[in-house]
Structure 1
Amino acid sequence: MIIITQETLSFLSELKENNNREWFADNKKRFEKEKKFIKQFFNEIGDSLGKIDNIESTQIFRIYRDVRFSKNKLPYKVNFSAGYRRTKPMLRGGYYLHIENDASFVGGGFWEPNTEDLLRIRKEIELDASELREIIAQETFKKYFGSLQGEELKTAPRDFDKNHPDIDLIRKKQYLVTRSFSNKEVLSPDFDKEILITFQAMRPFFDYMSDVLTTNLNGESII
């Protein structure tokens, strides 16, 4: 298994300090070397993940930013990242791996659920949140992720009771989990193992959401 080196983190750190096309052009050979290296690392993680879950695809994200509709006109991301999609339609949820100097993390969940999926999740929670509550209260979940994360509405969604006992979960727009890693942890020979352990810790949450999103409120399959 490939081990991430200080060279990779140093490149990303320098890019953050020199986020312009001139510096990038002068360091293009360094970038190509790091790109090849990190691509192999991400693919090896994907291969290992595929042995413990059904993975539909691996997506390695480009370092070039799309600045057309953004106020931030910096041309480059200052991280290397990849996503791993579970096989639909039965399995839902996606894994994410982010390598950045002093800001690396592993994440997963439902970043931008479509309107139909978001409503279905909220309706399930409204009906009975006990199973989800049990999952996020588990010792393993709390150890790796702390709590369920994601953007929230300031109040209840339309047609939901603002006084519902589980309104804290209902008003979420995203359902995410993340675990941060220090540079020391990223450079460790066991970093790949910690990534996979963290991904595995997401499974009860993913399996719950998969069950919700493939059934109706009566528990009947919709696929």
Structure 2
Amino acid sequence: MNETIPRETFSFLNRLQKNNNREWFTENKKEFKEIEREVKQFFNQLGEYLNKYDQIDKVKVFRIYRDVRFSKNKIPYKTHFGGSFHRVKPRLRGGYYLHLEPNDNSFIATGFWDPNKDDLLRIRKEFEMDATEIREIITKKSFKNVWGEIEGDEVKTAPKGFSRDHESIDLIKKKQFIFTKKFTDKEVTAAGFMEQASNDFKVIRPFFNYMSEVLTTDLNGVSLIEE
């Protein structure tokens, strides 16, 4: 299996960025398919790394083709590779993402990109009741050294039904709960990148454990999962 990202990956994506049209892509499709094959091998191998300490049931590498039907931007191809690693649902929540883009634009991301309405309300209710544990997790030095601050969209003041003066309104008003870490091209193509990404993802586990427990129980701690 392939444990490194080929340097040719970024070279190809840079050329694609300058020649983002179907004629050029067709002429270079053989090279693309070989690079895509190696990139998919990398993603699948990283999924195996994650399975050493988590339960991943699906690895998905997104297609290079852009859906331009409803977009003003009609450029036909993405100039990056991206893929996700799905945890076993419904017991385990959250997910992992790897983004490969040249010119030092690569990153790994994790957390909750688009929680549904019910999940978001449940999270907010938990923070409203007691945010002590989540704050301890995300402010721990070993956690912040890897993932920094929590990111994501949020409402301007307070969600409906919540007080804007609540002591945890900074968490309650969030609509997403995302963490990202950037990498240079040199770091991504280095021999140890897969292990580095896996180790960084491992650091998020206390956050996932907490959020999974919240989202699989009610406010009294009673399980919502049918046995």
Name the counterpart of 1:164.
Answer: 166
Question: Percent of pairs identical after alignment?
Answer: 55
- Structure 1 residue 39 displacement after superposition: 0.8
Which ranges in structure 2 are unaligned for 5 or more consecutive residues?
none
Name the counterpart of 1:40.
Answer: 41
CA distance in structure 2 between the partners assigned to 1:17 and 1:110 by the alignment:
33
Name the counterpart of 1:76.
Answer: 77
1:175 to 169, 177, 182: 177
Residues 71-111 of structure 1: CA deviation (Å, up to 9, x unaligned): 22211111111111111111101111111112111111111
2:213 aligned partner, one-letter code: D
Which stretch has the larger CA shift, 1-10 or 143-152? 1-10
Residues 177-220 of structure 1: CA deviation (Å, up to 9, x unaligned): 11111111101110011010111011111111100000011111
1:154 aligned partner, one-letter code: K
- Structure 1 residue 5 displacement after superposition: 2.5
- Structure 1 residue 27 displacement after superposition: 1.2
Which stretch has the larger CA shift, 22-31 or 117-126? 22-31
CA distance in structure 2 between the partners assigned to 1:60 and 1:148 by the alignment:
25
SS of 1:13's equivalent in the other structure is: helix
- Structure 1 residue 50 displacement after superposition: 1.2
For 1:1-223, what aligned pairs fall within 5 Å after superposition?
A: 1-101=2-102, 102-223=104-225
1:124 aligned partner, one-letter code: E
CA contact (8 A) 2:114 2:176 kept: yes
SS of 2:179's equivalent in the other structure is: strand
CA contact (8 A) 2:6 2:38 kept: no
CA distance in structure 1 between the partners assigned to 2:34 and 2:174 by the alignment:
40
CA distance in structure 2 between the partners assigned to 1:56 and 1:36 by the alignment:
20
1:96 aligned partner, one-letter code: Y
SS of 1:89's equivalent in the other structure is: coil
Which stretch has the larger CA shift, 110-119 or 73-82? 73-82
SS of 1:161's equivalent in the other structure is: coil
Say what the alpha-carbon RMSD is for the aligned residues. Answer: 1.0
Q: Which runs of 4+ in 1 moved over 4 A?
A: none
Residues 44-74 of structure 1: CA deviation (Å, up to 9, x unaligned): 1111211211112111111111111222221
CA distance in structure 1 between the partners assigned to 2:8 and 2:72 by the alignment:
31
2:122 aligned partner, one-letter code: R
CA contact (8 A) 2:91 2:216 kept: yes
- Structure 1 residue 24 displacement after superposition: 1.1
CA contact (8 A) 2:60 2:85 kept: yes
CA distance in structure 2 between the partners assigned to 1:77 and 1:155 by the alignment:
36
CA distance in structure 1 between the partners assigned to 2:205 and 2:109 by the alignment:
12
CA distance in structure 2 between the partners assigned to 1:145 and 1:18 by the alignment:
35
CA distance in structure 1 between the partners assigned to 2:140 and 2:68 by the alignment:
41
